[in-house]
Amino acid sequence: MAVFHHNFLLTSLLIFLRNIIVVYSRGPVYTPPNVDRLTDRFSRLSVNQSYNVFFGGANVHVTNNGTSADLSLDKSSGSGLVSKNKYYYGFFNAAIKLPAGFTSGVVVAYYPMSVYATIWDASQWATHGGKYPVNYKFAPFVTSMTGIEMEGCIVNSKNMAPSCSKSSLSSIDPVDGEQFSKLSSQQISGLEWARRKHMFYSYCQDKPRYKVLPQECSAK
């Protein structure tokens, strides 16, 4: 009886520890709030329709019949894409999967007047002044992007004039209307949720780097 009791306790402990390991390995599971998605309002574009290679062409690989792209960073170079058009304003979107594994010092950025998608070595400022530089033993670091959407007021490359006007009707201006000028209460809740669950760095809190914070950091 004593042997049975001992074996039962041992088996229970092993099952308990296994469950802990399984939960730990999977990490926390977050269910995002249900929010009206602006991405549903626009059509998807291929990589070649929307982007040119910005730098590191050997590390840019178009996949999934042209709908996605992998950008990689290795010891030779990072890589990046830049939009074919320049914009005064607009709506720009892509689903981006960040590099896996140990990625200290690796920066993935997505930002306009042109739209850039880049991956690069930021060891000198992104890791406490280079304390934890990129470890290329784990290279290549690959970020993937898909679901590309671009709608906005395109700059005319010849005379730098806008192709549309903010005062125009929405049929002329693809991103005109109240739904693009401010977030709904539902969207604000979704943004705050994403910040709480996923954001661990904000340049608005990086006072060692920015002695004077950018103006948008004080905007409400």
Residue 218 lies in a domain: no
Mind listing the pLDDT tens digit for each residue in 135-177? Answer: 999 999 999 999 999 888 888 777 766 666 544 444 556 676 6
Structural domain containing residue 89: 39-176
Residue 184 lies in a domain: no
Q: How far is CA 202 from the centre of its chain?
A: 13
Q: Work out how many domains the chain is built from and give that number.
A: 1
Which CATH number covers residue 102? Answer: 2.60.120.200
- Residues contacting residue 116 through CB under 8 Å, at least 6 positions apart: 54, 80, 81, 82, 83, 109, 110
The residue with greater pLDDT, 65 or 17, is 65
Question: What pLDDT does residue 62 have?
Answer: 97
**50-68 per-residue burial string, b: 16 or more CB within 10 A, e: under 16:** bbebbebeebbebeeeebb
Mind listing the pLDDT tens digit for each residue in 121-139? Answer: 988 776 666 778 899 999 9
Ordered DSSP codes for 26-39: H-----------GG
Answer yes or no: pTM beyond 0.75.
no
Mind listing the pLDDT tens digit for each residue in 83-112? Answer: 999 988 888 999 999 999 999 999 999 996
Residue 48 lies in a domain: yes
